[in-house]
Amino acid sequence: MPRYLERHLQALIGSLGQLWRQRVNTLLTALVIGVSLALPASLLLGLATLQQATAGWDGDARLTAYLKTNLPDAEAAELAGKLRRELDGEASVTLIDRAQALAEFERSSGLGEALALLGDNPLPAALVLTPAGRADEAKLARLADRLRALPQVDDVQADLEWVRRLNALLELGRRMVWVFAALLGTGVVLVTGNTIRLAIFNRRAEIEITKLIGGTDAFIRRPFLYWGLLQGLAGGVVATLLLLGVHLALAGPVRTLAGLYGSPLSLTTPGFLGSVGVLLLGGGLGLAGAALAVGRHLREIEPG
């Protein structure tokens, strides 16, 4: 085995031994790191579940083009067919002819007797366009402009305000989660750094003797870096277990609620890659905290 690998293995085994000898403190630190990682991860998964739930709402973002009242039904049907061919894959087109519009208005308003007195049907035919996929504001506005340019169209109703609000709320939620994650990540770095700082002070005499006999800073630094890495990985394991517990606790109620509304909604899980990402993030933050603490405090210790 190469010399440098042997030294790294020795430092790793020594760090494992230190963590085991201080297993109560190690467990407490891992719990703090785990909770700090699990909180933003849970919020991200909750936001992903919310996006999954609202994805179906985008299908309700429709454009209604009211045709001119003197337009014959045959021409309205021809226009609908033409739009279907032109918007193939971009949006679906549904024609509501004048008779259907009157019948729907009678059902919803309860004014059937009053409408019967009018004689002629005063309502125009309408084309309802439902965009495919996520209907963002730009896509709806583009379709609305296209409809307004048609000579057979009298007016276009596009309710974009709720789409703006939905997108703004989701974007605000995403940014708040990332800010929250950054703050908690900083807390993980500080917690790990403080733990390493205490370990350095407790081993001050050992470090001074090591420097006296020619030990380099890299040699002294190595076990502490492994210590921080292992603590971060332990925190990542705790975070993964907490996420699993949250999923087991909430998956059933979410599935029941979704079933009551006839929705296939299910609670988003981190999956294998997400769990590995949490572990790596915990290890990286632990290593960063250890590097900051060692780099700062090791220079202050010199043989007297």
Quick one: fold of 62-158? Alpha-Beta Plaits (3.30.70)
Specify which residues 186 forms β-bridges with: none
Mean pLDDT for the stretch of residues 289-294? 85
Residue 122: pLDDT band by 50, 70, 90 thresholds? Answer: low
Residue 67 or residue 57, greater confidence: 67
For the record, the structure tokens of 88 come out as 């193939």
Residue 18 or residue 69, greater confidence: 69
Q: Is the pLDDT of residue 294 over 60?
A: yes
Q: Is the pLDDT of residue 111 over 60?
A: no
For the record, the structure tokens of 135 come out as 């209907």
Apex 116 CA angle, 113 and 118, nearest 5: 125
- pLDDT at position 240 is 92
Give me the amino acid identity at 257: L
Q: Is the pLDDT of residue 174 over 80?
A: yes
Helices (H), the chain: 3-21, 23-55, 73-86, 98-109, 112-116, 137-148, 161-202, 204-212, 217-260, 271-297
Strands ordered across the beta sheet of 153-158: 91-96, 126-131, 63-67, 153-158
DSSP 261: T
Mean pLDDT for the stretch of residues 244-260? 81
Residue 216 or residue 150, greater confidence: 150
- Domain-by-domain residue ranges, the chain? 3-56+165-300, 62-158
- CA–CA separation, 29 and 199 (whole Å): 13
Residue 59: pLDDT band by 50, 70, 90 thresholds? Answer: very low
DSSP 150: S
Mean pLDDT for the stretch of residues 265-294? 85
- pLDDT at position 262 is 65
Residue 56 or residue 174, greater confidence: 174
Mean pLDDT for the stretch of residues 26-41? 87
Q: Is the pLDDT of residue 266 over 80?
A: no
